[in-house]
Structure 1
């Protein structure tokens, strides 16, 4: 992964690319991502016509379908504002693979490259562009928490998302991050992999779940909703004591963001 250069001037505006999984299954993560950005003084814009990043089709060997998904969104983020993505794997798809999808279409490739340069994973953006300081923002009255992190394989390789999560979580007062033996292993989700190879996927998530639970942690935190859903549903099915939470919601809650009686951020 090539080290990127970050803006030296704080932006006043940003786009949010919500991802299809956030939109359909974990909308609270998207709302909390917006709240984190707005608290830093940004105006957040959400183009309503956005959809999927195209990764499921791309990783399944269907570049034409992925290309059409990406093409439909190239003109949605017209202003030169950062595009913040609450998913390392989706951010990696947009930043590293969208330009290659259009290698035979120079006009579209130029748009894809320009857009890719503005794509940031949420944790990366908070740390390196906004330079947030959470050490003094712990919410009063919160109990101490012991957490384990999970980073999707693509996010770890392409966007360095694990490093962002580690730095953000380690800065939070009252939070202890615990590493476990299988932290670097895949959870078995892998987009369409879980559908094509359910038995293998199921065995992989059981290994991940057992390793995380063995630490005695209070919850698992991840910046990738696919993995979060996979691990969380496996834990619920087994009755395992492992609540899961998206990094955006965890950061919002632990730094003073309001949470309603149902446990949702407000």
Structure 2
């Protein structure tokens, strides 16, 4: 993972949100809570309507031309020199580290993608390193024990486990519990879970069992694909484990929203 230089908060207080297709289709509340967290810091959030997918599914499935078409359609959607906030570590990693390389044979497009990639921030990273947030929490809220899950791409390409740990550990009333299989893949892996269903199923069973062994009843992650996989597996197994996106968990703890209102696919 690269060492990144972090700028000061944007002087004009303007940012873009790249909402991701999974949040759009399956966990829209996580996107809304992302906006709420950013607005809490005095930022104006812009959501370009033409955005869709980061291109990762096609790219990781060996379809580079399809991925290039998806990316090319979005390169002009973020014209102002504002940070682009992504509430998904794996999508942020795709945009920051792979978009420019995909157009190595088209220098002008590659340069446009490179310039945009420099403005890509995963949500937790942006809150901590750029906005330098401090969350006092709501005193009357119940104490919670949670486990953190960081997707493979987010952990290795964006280093977001560090950011997640720092945010959770600073919240009053929240105890983050490490578990035996924390560093392992949840088994989703995009199309991997379809092509290798038996292996994927075994991996997520290990993940659920390891999380449950801690006594925690909640998994927090900044990656919706993983949350969907872990949440549905836990429900199928009858395991007492709920899942919550990092944005929703942070907003709930800071704003005092009841835990029963959180999304659990």
Partner residue of 1:96? Answer: 97
Partner residue of 1:181? Answer: 180
Partner residue of 1:143? Answer: 142
SS of the equivalent of 2:99 reads helix
Compared CA separation, residues 76 and 21, structure 1 to 2 (3 A): same
Moved over 2 A (4+): 8-11, 257-264
Partner residue of 2:39? Answer: 38
Partner residue of 2:248? Answer: 249
Structure 2 unaligned residues grouped into runs of 5+: none
Partner residue of 1:212? Answer: 211
What does the per-residue CA deviation read over 1:67-113, in whole Å, with 9 as the maximum and x for residues that have no partner? Answer: 00000000000000000000000000000000001101111111100
RMSD: 1.3
Compared CA separation, residues 19 and 9, structure 1 to 2 (3 A): closer
What does the per-residue CA deviation read over 1:205-255, in whole Å, with 9 as the maximum and x for residues that have no partner? Answer: 000000000000031000000000000000011110001000000000011
Partner residue of 1:18? Answer: 19
Residue 61 of structure 1 deviates from its aligned partner by 1.0
Compared CA separation, residues 141 and 48, structure 1 to 2 (3 A): same
Partner residue of 2:6? Answer: 6
Provide TM-score, normalisation by structure 2. 0.96
Contact 1:139 1:253 in 2 (8 A): no
Taking the aligned partners of 1:257 and 1:192, their CA distance within structure 2 comes to 37
Contact 2:8 2:131 in 1 (8 A): no
Taking the aligned partners of 1:93 and 1:223, their CA distance within structure 2 comes to 15
Residue 261 of structure 1 deviates from its aligned partner by 7.2
Partner residue of 1:223? Answer: 222
Partner residue of 1:83? Answer: 84
Taking the aligned partners of 1:39 and 1:94, their CA distance within structure 2 comes to 25
Contact 1:156 1:162 in 2 (8 A): yes
Compared CA separation, residues 261 and 228, structure 1 to 2 (3 A): closer
Residue 138 of structure 1 deviates from its aligned partner by 1.0
Partner residue of 2:29? Answer: 28
Residue 257 of structure 1 deviates from its aligned partner by 5.0
Structure 1 unaligned residues grouped into runs of 5+: none
Taking the aligned partners of 2:45 and 2:249, their CA distance within structure 1 comes to 20
Compared CA separation, residues 260 and 173, structure 1 to 2 (3 A): closer
